[in-house]
Amino acid sequence: MDDDENQFVVDDVSKIIKDTIENTISGNVYQQDKVNQWSAAVSEQCLSALSKLKKSFKYVVTCSIMQKTGAGLHTASSCFWDSSTDGTCTVRWENKTMYCIVSVFGLAI
């Protein structure tokens, strides 16, 4: 998979994530009753945009939205994969009332 068409390009994935978050929750104030809807929409729209890249990858998308309260958050992930073909990208977005953390894992087929 040396062809650029089949590489996991972090810059492209990061732009998709950022655009999706901006289009979905930008301008909103944190509302607990909307979090499930927002996180599902961000995940599904990221997957849709990633699939339009027409690359030979399976994608895993996670989205966490949390209220800004001053509390800390630590997350970790671990993968057993081929680092020459597979990749990951995580974007942290925030506004005055919430954080949104989206991770995409691209697994070459």
Closest alpha carbon to 91 in 104, 105, 78? 104
What's the CATH code of the domain at 37? 3.30.1140.40
- Tell me what percent of the residues of the chain surpass a pLDDT of 70: 95
Q: Tell whether the model's pLDDT for residue 63 goes beyond 60.
A: yes
Residue 75: the pLDDT is: 86
Query: What is the arithmetic mean of pLDDT over 81-105?
Result: 96
> CB pairs under 8 A, 24+ apart, for 17-24?
17/46, 17/89, 17/91, 17/102, 17/104, 18/91, 18/93, 19/49, 20/45, 20/46, 20/49, 20/102, 21/91, 21/93, 21/100, 21/102, 22/93
Residue 1 has pLDDT above 70, yes or no: no
Tell whether the model's pLDDT for residue 49 goes beyond 80: yes
pTM (2 d.p.): 0.92
Work out how many domains the chain is built from and give that number. 1
Instruction: From 67, 29, 68, 60, select the one nearest 43 (Cα to Cα).
Output: 60
Cα 66 from Cα 98, distance rounded (Å): 6
Contact 62, 102 (CB under 8 A): yes
Calculate mean pLDDT across residues 75-95.
93
Mean confidence (pLDDT) of the chain = 94
Helix axes 10-25 and 35-51, enclosed angle (nearest 10): 140
What range does the domain containing 70 cover?
4-108
